[in-house]
Amino acid sequence: MKTEQLKPCPFCGGSKIHVLPPTCRPETPYDPSDRLFPIAKCFGCYVEVSGENEDYTSKSAIKAWNRRSTPTPLSEEDIKRKYLKLAIDAVNAAHKEQEIDRINNGEKAWVDLSPEEIEWHIFDHLESAFFPEDPKLLSTIRRIEDAGKGE
């Protein structure tokens, strides 16, 4: 019978996962540093999951380690919110980083830029925020944008 393989760490993505067996048996004298259960531990970020008591095969620790929740897909409203937050962050970041330099270089202040120039700066920042691309997010954003063009 083949032992189940350990999945990578869900927190750090590391692969240095080890299963540590129980350190005692029920009949051994009490020692507070002992444990009756196995643990699966990531030695990248030190997160660990406990198995069941008296499991000397460590299968319960492997099963507990490999258990993952199903990610909830983003709704269109969540994606719109994320897209808008990125746009707001883009404006704020560009403003903080460039306003003083723009004025010192004799360029227009942000308040003096045309809507097209502001849109270009927002798009430039958003483009860098989205790469490497998230295909699902981008396709949903394009659907939202296309739906808005029909209004």
Average of pLDDT values for 59-77?
87
CA-closest candidate to residue 53, choices 61, 62, 63 = 61
Domain boundaries, the chain: 17-66, 76-149
More confident residue, 105 or 42: 42
Question: How many Å apart are CA 129 and CA 140, to the nearest integer?
Answer: 16
106: tokens are 């004799």
83-93 pLDDT, tens digit per residue, is: 888 877 777 77
Alpha-helical regions (H) of 24-133? 59-66, 76-104, 115-130
Q: Residue 41 pLDDT > 70, yes or no?
A: yes
Q: Report the alpha-carbon distance of residue 19 to residue 72 in Å, rounded.
A: 29
Whole-prediction pTM value?
0.45
